[in-house]
Amino acid sequence: MLYGKKLKIVAVGLLLVLAGCASLAKIIYPVTTDPLKSKPGVYALDSDHANIIFSLNHLGFSLHHGRFNKITGSLEPDTSAPEASQLFITITTASIDTNNQILDDELRSPKMFDASAFPAATYQSTSIRQTGDTTAVIEGVLNIKGVEKPVTIEATFIGSGVNPLTGLQTIGFSGKGSFKRSDFGLKEWLPFIGDDVALIIEAEFTRPK
């Protein structure tokens, strides 16, 4: 019984220490959840902390997921006029990853992304409209295989501040969007494999010192 009580005391003490560290971290490295308090400047996408995940219907049985492993880009927030902010993303098409090598090779082939002829897909924002304290609608143009179509991203601001590991100003947000792959000439396996592609975006951007 005494041993059990000691363990509980140690556990409580550890929790208090961790809570104190978390509070101290917030003081030393404050993160704001107000996008209008972000520091201005041109931010580069932190590729180590960025994900573009896609999903589409597989034969009516499930949603099949994949991602792109090489992404670059920039974000230029304008806190005085958020609608003037700019977002640009470049995706290396050959970096597609569905956890299936045979499928990945087919997706890189001329019948789909044709990664050798079109090594990059891009997204350029055309307008950003704030819809709430931490939300915005990003209108932009997606370019795949030389075909340009409008795509809307519903974005949620996560936070901004100084990254304690790098010392760099950092901005992070999540986003969701969708498009029809057939609009970009990605028609292989239709209609058995879904045409509607859902996107999940998680990204951190850092500003050089």
Rounded to the nearest angstrom, the gap between the alpha carbon of residue 53 and the centroid of all alpha carbons in its chain is 8
Angle ∠(193,196,197) on CA atoms, nearest 5? 95
Where does the pLDDT of residue 209 fall: very low under 50, low under 70, confident under 90, or very high at 90 and above? confident
Examine the pLDDT at 112 and tell me if it is beyond 50.
Answer: yes
Residue 26: the pLDDT is 54
Average pLDDT over residues 6-17: 47
pLDDT, position 113: 98
Q: Quickly state the pLDDT bin for 27 (edges 50, 70, 90).
A: low
pLDDT greater than 90 at residue 11: no
Cis status of the peptide bond prior to 191, with omega within 30 of 0? yes
Mean pLDDT score of the chain: 90
Q: Are 98 and 66 in contact (CB under 8 A)?
A: yes
